[in-house]
Amino acid sequence: MVAAHGSDRLHGLDAVRGYALLLGIVYHATMAYLPGQGLWPVSDPHRSLFLSGLFFVSHMFRMSTFFLIAGFFGHMGVEKRGVRAFVKDRAKRIALPLVVGWPILLGGIIASSLFGYVMTVGHLPTTQEHAALAAHAPPAPPLAFPLTHLWFLYLLLWLYAATLGLRALVLRLDAGGGFRARADAVVAAVADSPLAPVILAIPVMAAFLFGGPWRMWFGVTTPDSSLIPNLHAAVQYFTAFGFGWLLHRQPALIGAWSRRWPLNLALAAGLTAACLGLTGVAPFIGLAQPGVKTTAYAAAYAVAMWAWTAAAIGMALKFMGAESPVRRYIADSSYWLYLIHLPLVMALQATVVRLDLPAEVKIVIVLGAAFPLMFASYQLMVRHSVLGAILNGRRAPRLAKARGQMARTEAR
């Protein structure tokens, strides 16, 4: 996913979007080591409260941050290219990887899950064991479908379609621009306010409290098991995407988050500590029960999500605004790494499951093997290939070719 040129801020935003995807790889790597009931196909006997805390914090904000930046760049793409070219680009870079990649990656995930079962139990699941696992599985949601970790691509398509539809409606009904001017004024007031995380948290806090069953410890339920996104995810991620879309109409506003990153970081850390104080660091899979504790937790969690998002974006703008070849490479590669990581991470988790080592050591081994392999696959298979043109919007020239182009340019 490519940053646009001409603004240092865009380099920072593209970097933090890439790091949010890489954080997702770390997030999935922690899941084999969470205390309590096994929540992952590879269930390691060594568990860690530290990794549980890392899982909790990263789940709070990484996808909200990603979707806000996706909305920001989405509006930029429509303004630069027009709707028709934007839709064509999204079909190539989002829909095509989803349709082509899903069956391949699902097969890899199933194979890695079976490998993990064998490494843990010593044999493939018998018919009785498979039936027992199925009996303990939660009820399937409406239109159940295993989107796996590619759910974010599916949801992006929903968000693009909904936002372009709303945009067309506003352009038709607001010919004079009065409604858009008032909307811009509201967005400017929110973005420039130190209370921005509180204001932006209101929709998802309401969804937590009034939107049906909710597992408090896990915050926004990942919409990976149904073709209909759950209410909590739909509300939070549409809010993030929509705010990012509108924010790009006045891009200078995001500079306020650069100035306030210490405040937002302190708010995020304090509210996260409060949330963990209310529920504990170990995962709790029970449903929230009405009451003061649940209300306080919903408010703290919702504001913490937005405070983390504002802090992450603010720090990226403050400290990663200048163009950096290393950060650019990481941003370019992050999409491919995230697409392919899950079967590999699960297979590596299964490989070390029998080692008598602390969970923290095991995850270092898993990630220490996974990242070099994935970066190598990007460099050798993607960066200079048609795949790179599909995923990143352009194929990176090889070094010799790039030097030749530079020499020809200088000779002119």
Annotated domain spans of the chain: 8-127+139-411
* Average pLDDT estimate for 173-178: 94
Token pair for residue 180? Answer: 């858009």
Model pLDDT for residues 24-73, shown as the tens digit of each residue: 999 999 999 999 877 788 989 999 999 999 999 999 999 999 999 999 99
Percentage of residues of the chain with pLDDT beyond 70: 92
When pLDDT is cut at 50, 70 and 90, the band that residue 301 belongs to is: very high
Greater confidence (133 vs 300) lies with 300
When pLDDT is cut at 50, 70 and 90, the band that residue 135 belongs to is: low
> Mean pLDDT of all residues in the chain?
91
Q: What pLDDT does 129 receive?
A: 65
Q: What are phi and psi of 328, to 5 degrees?
A: -65, -40
Distance CA 261, CA 240 (A): 18
Token pair for residue 408? Answer: 């020809």
Model pLDDT for residues 352-410, shown as the tens digit of each residue: 999 999 999 999 999 999 999 999 999 999 999 999 999 987 777 775 554 555 445 44
From its phi and psi, is residue 140 left (phi > 0), alpha (psi between -120 and 50) or beta?
beta
Distance CA 56, CA 283 (A): 8
Long-range contacts of 379-388 (CB under 8 A, 24+ apart): 382/333, 382/336, 383/332, 383/333, 387/336, 388/332
Which segment of 18-32, 117-131, 179-193, 292-306 scores lowest on mean pLDDT? 117-131
> Cβ contacts of residue 252 below 8 Å, gap of 6+?
none
Residue identified by tokens 């380099």 is 11
Cβ distance 373 to 66 under 8 Å? Answer: no
When pLDDT is cut at 50, 70 and 90, the band that residue 221 belongs to is: very high
Residue identified by tokens 């070099």 is 372
Instruction: Tell me whether residue 122 is exposed, middle or buried, using C-beta atoms within 10 angstroms of its C-beta: 0 to 12, 13 to 18, 19 or more.
Output: exposed
When pLDDT is cut at 50, 70 and 90, the band that residue 130 belongs to is: low
Torsion angle, alpha carbons of 300, 49, 339, 378, to 10? 120
